[in-house]
Amino acid sequence: MTEAKRVPAIEGWYTMDQAQPHLLGSRCTSCGTYFFPKQKQFCRNPACEGTAFDDVPLSRTGRIWSYTNASYQPPEPYVSPDPFVPFAIAAVELEKERMIVLGQVVSGTGVEKLRVGMPMELVLETLHKEGETDKVIWKWKPLAGARS
C-alpha cells in the first residue's frame, strides 16, 4: 500500500497527529479566554484589553451542544468536497475550554445518530484528494466506548 501524502486542508489550525489530533487555538494572557481560530491582534472579550496570546492545543473531546444537517454548500472556512455531499455538522463544547467548536461529523454518521450531550472526539479525515495528496480536515466523531 502506498502512503498518500497527507497535508492539512487549512494550514495551522490543527496538528497532523492521526491518532491524537488537536485543534490549535490561542489563549489570552490577560483574561484567559480561549479562541479558535487563533486570535493574534486583540482580545475579543469586551471587558479585556489583552493583546498577547499563547498558542495552545485545545481539548480533543467535548459534548454536542447542537447539530444540524448541511444539505447546502457551507461558507468558508468549511472546505467541502466537490461535488458537494450532504453531511452532519456538530457544534461541540470542548471538555476543558467550554468553548463551542463547529466541525463536520465523520463520514457515515448522519444526524439520526447524534444527540445533544453526546461525547465526541476530534479526528482527522480526508476532505479531498489532489493527485497523490490527501487534504485532511478535523471532524467530530462519536467517542468510542462512550455510552449513548
Nearest to Zn ion of 30, 61 (CB atom): 30
Nearest to Zn ion of 50, 119 (CB atom): 50
| Least distance CB 13 / Zn ion (angstroms) | 21
Does residue 121 contact residue 60 with C-beta atoms inside 8 Å? yes
Residues that bind Zn ion (CB under 5 A): 28, 30-31, 33, 43, 45, 48, 50
Among 88, 77, 59, smallest CA distance to 10 is for 77
Nearest to Zn ion of 30, 107 (CB atom): 30
Measured in Å, how far apart are the chain's first and last C-alpha atoms?
36
| Least distance CB 103 / Zn ion (angstroms) | 24
| Least distance CB 60 / Zn ion (angstroms) | 24
Phi first, then psi: give them for residue 28, nearest 5 degrees. Answer: -65, 130
Question: Read out DSSP for 91-146?
Answer: EEEETTT--EEEEEEPTT--GGG--TT-EEEEEEEEEEEETTEEEEEEEEEEPTT-
Nearest to Zn ion of 48, 100 (CB atom): 48
Phi first, then psi: give them for residue 106, nearest 5 degrees. Answer: -55, 150
Nearest to Zn ion of 49, 130 (CB atom): 49
